[in-house]
C-alpha cells in the first residue's frame, strides 16, 4: 500500500476488478462486516455475527514490490526477442 490507512503494509493480490479499477489484497484494508444468522449448519447450528474481511482498494493505492530490493517500484515494459511485452522494474530494469 502506498496510500490510505494501511500505508506500508504488504500482501498478495486475491482479486482484480479491472472494470471498476479495484483490487483485493490479502490482510490489507480490513473491515468488520455483520453477517446474517442462518440455520443451515449441522443440527440447525447458528452461523453469523461480526466477521473481519478485506475490502476493495483502488489500483492507484497499491504498487508492486521489487523482488531484489523489497521496496515498492514502478513498472515498465520492454520487448523481448519474440516481440512480446515483458514487465520490468523501473529502478533496476530487471524482469518481473
* 11-16 own/partner pairs: CB under 8 Å, 24+ apart: 13/62, 14/54, 15/56
44 and 2 both lie in a single domain: yes
Pairwise CA distance, residues 54 & 28, whole Å: 6
55 and 72 both lie in a single domain: no
Model's pTM, two decimal places? 0.73
52 and 74 both lie in a single domain: no
Cell of 83: 516481440
pLDDT at 14: 94
50 and 8 both lie in a single domain: yes
pLDDT at 94: 83
pLDDT digits (tens, 9 = 90+) for 47-77: 778 889 999 999 999 999 888 888 889 999 9
pLDDT digits (tens, 9 = 90+) for 19-55: 999 999 999 999 999 988 877 767 766 777 888 999 9
Structural domain that includes position 52: 1-62
Amino acid at each position: 500500500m502506498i496510500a490510505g490507512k494501511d500505508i506500508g503494509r504488504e500482501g498478495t493480490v486475491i482479486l482484480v476488478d479491472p472494470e471498476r479499477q479495484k483490487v483485493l489484497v490479502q490482510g490489507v484494508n480490513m473491515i468488520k462486516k455483520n453477517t446474517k444468522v442462518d440455520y443451515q449448519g449441522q443440527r440447525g447450528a447458528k452461523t453469523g455475527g461480526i466477521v473481519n474481511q478485506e475490502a476493495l482498494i483502488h489500483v492507484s493505492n497499491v504498487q508492486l514490490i521489487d523482488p531484489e530490493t523489497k521496496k515498492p517500484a514502478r513498472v515498465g515494459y520492454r520487448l523481448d526477442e519474440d516481440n512480446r511485452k515483458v514487465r520490468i522494474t523501473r529502478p533496476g530494469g530487471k524482469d518481473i
